Amino acid sequence: MRDQSGSGAMTDQQRKQTNVQEVPSTITDAAEASGNRIEEGDFVTRNEEQDLVRGLHQRHISLIAIAGAIVGTTSLFLGLGGSIQTGGPLGALLGYAIVGLIVCAVQFALGEVVALLPVTSSFVRHAEFLIDPAVGFAVGYNLVYGNLLSIPTEITAICVLIQYWTDMNSALWIVVFIILTFVVGISFIGIYGEIEFWFALLKILFIVFLILLGLIIDLGGVPGTPRIGFRYWNRPGPFVEYIATGRWGQFLGFWAVMSNAVFSFAGVESIAMAAAETRNPRIAIPKACKRVFARVSIFYILAVLIVGMLVPSDDPRLDDQSGTAAQSPFVIAASAAGLHGVPSLVNAVVITSAWSSSNQALLSGTRVLYGLALKKQAPKIFLRTTSWGVPYICVLLNTAFMFLAFMSLSEGALTVFWWLVDLVACGVLISWITILTNHLRLVLAMKKQGIPLAELPWHSRWTEWSTPTALALCVVILFTAGFPVFTTGNWSASSFVSSYLDIALVTAAYAFWKLFKRTKFVALADIPLREAIDRAQQDPGVEVKVPLWRSIAGFLWD
């Protein structure tokens, strides 16, 4: 292991990699003469080129992106029942469809900016380049904080899921999964990519299996089971009244589903966190982002539709609070049809999904912290990497926080633990808002500077209207996510704090760095886009052509 400060001898290969990112002095001089702000940390730095290793391939990024979008957490397997119960089958379908479109807009916006600036910690550093360094600081530490708590959360969820089969002490399973998560995090990035690739493929194949199974059950394909069809859309009905009555109550049910659906897609934005460790990032990451749309439509929306057909919204079994497969609407339907092996199968796959989420949180948290250290917003010690390119001090810090999972063994500590986790729940929306704002600023700056959008390494005209629309929706959802606490008889101080305190924390972090460093809001005309575009044109990446048979076999990611 070594302390990477950018000094010391460089190998020929390292010089070659670094030279790819170097720009002729005429470009830099011209940018500086125009008054534009130029900092090495705005682009891929020598630390990233020398100390990190490009071990993630196109197939890793693409399949992880798709799996993150459709089953980023355990919510698809276990949580859809609650959405059906709150909004009804049609309310849940509309809610997830709209949020699915928001996710697609976020992915497209992220892909366009990453293609121009494929840096470690992704949109955190994009915010510094396009908006204000204080925004990058605030969002970066919000992500670090959120991921530090997300990993022990997932480990706790795994312990609950394992209790479906055995009463063995949870402390043992906490230790086992802390060790497993640490081993993946400290290993070569390619190992993480390979593990997540196969887990992602497993989750995708499993959701396809559940969709087909649900359709068979619904159509009466299981012997002894009557055809259900859209019976539950007629009674109890397509919508459910939530808090209020009538049309207003049905709308609130739909809106509650949409607010909850946001957190089902948590993690989709993390695919670009390791851009500097991805081969051909200007090609691989945008390609992964733009293919999310079709996959979300096929998998997630179909799953919500099938669940709304299988289980009535007033089914008391949806109130199961065990946190295991018993609460899954797929399991409820399969058990009613006499298919008793499905619960254990669902439970097993949900465990892999939860562990996959903890690995993803570890990657995201460590790379954001590394990126903050690159910008001198975190101690320099976090720049230390192993000989195989892993920021090991960042990994060790995240590993230390994994032991918070032991708080789940104490009822009182568990209450505090989940309260802390709830504080960062709206961090997902804050991240999406940052990504969309970054892209909007990029488009406006290009127009201000008279640079055609066609000069971007990757651009879709769809994003010119999808980005502002999705941004407006995200802001509205952010401020209305905790609306039940403002209704008569539903006030809860803990719910209010968990819904909105994170907004105050991010604002405070922004104000602190703004005052401490006296950062300035970057004017559209001063963003050094010309240099960024010239760098991208010099290093466009290499499009790898694959045989037709391989494209067909890998249709999910190629």
At 543, which CATH number?
A: 1.20.1740
pLDDT digit string (tens) for 381-415? Answer: 999 999 999 999 999 999 999 998 888 787 766 66
Question: Highest-confidence range of 20-34, 220-234, 269-283, 345-359, by mean pLDDT?
Answer: 220-234
Answer whether residue 26 shows pLDDT above 60.
no
Q: Which residues contact 271 (CB under 8 A, 6 or more apart)?
A: 61, 64, 65, 68, 110, 285, 288, 289
- What is the percent of the chain with per-residue pLDDT over 90, rounded to a whole number? 38
Q: For residue 73, what pLDDT is reported? A: 45
pLDDT digit string (tens) for 211-235? Answer: 899 899 999 888 888 899 999 999 8
Least confident of 181-185, 292-296, 459-463: 292-296
- Do the domain assignments include residue 267? yes
Asked whether 56 and 23 are in contact (CB, 8 A), the reply is no
Q: What is the SS3 assignment for 538? A: helix
- Do the domain assignments include residue 347? no
Q: For residue 433, what pLDDT is reported? A: 96
Domain membership of residue 232 as a residue range? 55-137+190-333+408-550
pLDDT digit string (tens) for 258-302? Answer: 877 887 777 777 777 877 788 888 888 888 777 776 666 677 788
Answer whether residue 448 shows pLDDT above 90.
yes
Answer whether residue 1 shows pLDDT above 60.
no
Least confident of 144-148, 171-175, 316-320: 316-320
Number of domains observed in the structure of the chain:
1
Q: Work out the average pLDDT over 1-26.
A: 40
Least confident of 44-48, 93-97, 480-484, 492-496: 44-48
- Do the domain assignments include residue 388? no
Q: Which residues contact 492 (CB under 8 A, 6 or more apart)?
A: 485
- Do the domain assignments include residue 151? no
Q: For residue 67, what pLDDT is reported? A: 62
- Do the domain assignments include residue 45? no
Average pLDDT in the chain? 82
Asked whether 304 and 96 are in contact (CB, 8 A), the reply is yes
CB atoms within 10 A of CB 37: 16
- Do the domain assignments include residue 475? yes
- Do the domain assignments include residue 230? yes
Could you say which DSSP state residue 122 is in? Answer: T
- Do the domain assignments include residue 259? yes
CA 389/CA 191 separation, integer angstroms = 12
**293 is written with which tokens?**
């749309």
CA 149/CA 160 separation, integer angstroms = 17
